Amino acid sequence: MPEFPIHSVLSRCAAAVADKPPAAMFGLRDEGYDSLYEQLVSSLLSVRTYDEVSTEVSRRLFALARTPAAMIALDRETILEAIAEATFAPAKADNILALSRTIVEAYAGETPADYDKLIAFRGVGPKVASLALGVALNHPVIAVDIHVHRITNRWGYVATSTPDKTRDALAAKLPRDLWIEINRVLVPFGKHVCTGTRPRCSNCPVFDDCARVGVR
Ligand code: SF4
């Protein structure tokens, strides 16, 4: 079986969505919200929330506070008001306050650039931690969300049942130079081309390389 041309496939996917808005975290980074703390908070806000909404509530919150010390100077109601449109806003407000307090008290205000320390914060799972480390610091970690999971399985590049298993499978075969790129490209590609319910296969730039696993 010929090797899957992953570099070429990903670059064609990138070209197909070049005029679309970037994934929320990458867009915020390009606006200057590029510290690990800001990426961690906006990644947490993005959980189960549309990109457009999480981008907007992140901007609103960062207008009030951009560091852990500034965040814990705010009261919970102020944070909640800024992020009210995000899914699970009350829990996210609590988690942002708690992790900010821990960073100030246990890490002298410096967000630890350490995957295990980040996932110890309440509300911060593997995807949130990976995305924050990858986007803010270029750490070679793979952030697998539902788009990356769905598309790499449709390609036949991996054959897995959950995003966590996809992350492990990708870690074993995806070239390292694509570990961050794959999320940056496949989030908009998954929204505009290889969508969940009606993928646009007839106009897809990687049709010839795609096994279309599970696509009717
Ligand atoms: S050919 Fe269809 S299933 Fe495959 S990547 Fe393109 S849109 Fe997705």
CA angle 112, 110, 84 (to 5 degrees): 90
Token reading at 178:
């694509």
How far is the centre of ligand 1, averaged over its atoms, from the C-alpha of 168 (Å)? 22
- 78 and 110 part of one domain: yes
Residue closest via CA to ligand 1's atom 8 equals 194
Taking CA atoms only, the protein residue closest to ligand 1 atom 3 is 212
For 35-81, give the DSSP string.
SHHHHHHHHHHTTTS-HHHHHHHHHHHHTT-SSHHHHHTS-HHHHHH
Contact status, residue 34 vs residue 66, Cβ threshold 8 Å:
no
**What angle in degrees, to the nearest 10, is found between the helix axes of 36-45 and 126-137?**
140
* Same domain for 68 and 128: yes
pLDDT in tens, the chain (216 residues): 678 999 999 999 999 999 998 888 899 999 999 999 999 999 999 998 988 999 999 999 999 999 999 999 999 999 999 999 999 999 999 999 999 999 999 999 999 999 999 999 999 998 899 889 999 998 888 888 899 999 999 999 999 999 999 999 999 999 999 998 999 999 999 999 999 999 999 999 999 999 999 998
CATH code of the domain containing 89: 1.10.340.30
Is residue 123 located within the same domain as residue 165? no
Angle (CA) 123-192-45 rounded to 5° is 15
CB atoms within 10 A of CB 40: 27
| Domain span holding position 76 | 24-137
- CA separation for the pair 201, 81 (Å, rounded): 42
Q: For residue 53, how far is its CA from the centre of ligand 1 (angstroms)?
A: 27
CATH number, residue 182: 1.10.1670.10
* One domain for residues 77 and 12: no
Domain boundary among 137, 160, 179: 137
Residue finishing a domain among 137, 170, 200: 137
Ligand 1: which atom is nearest the Cα of residue 205? 6
**Token pair recorded at residue 194:** 């290889």
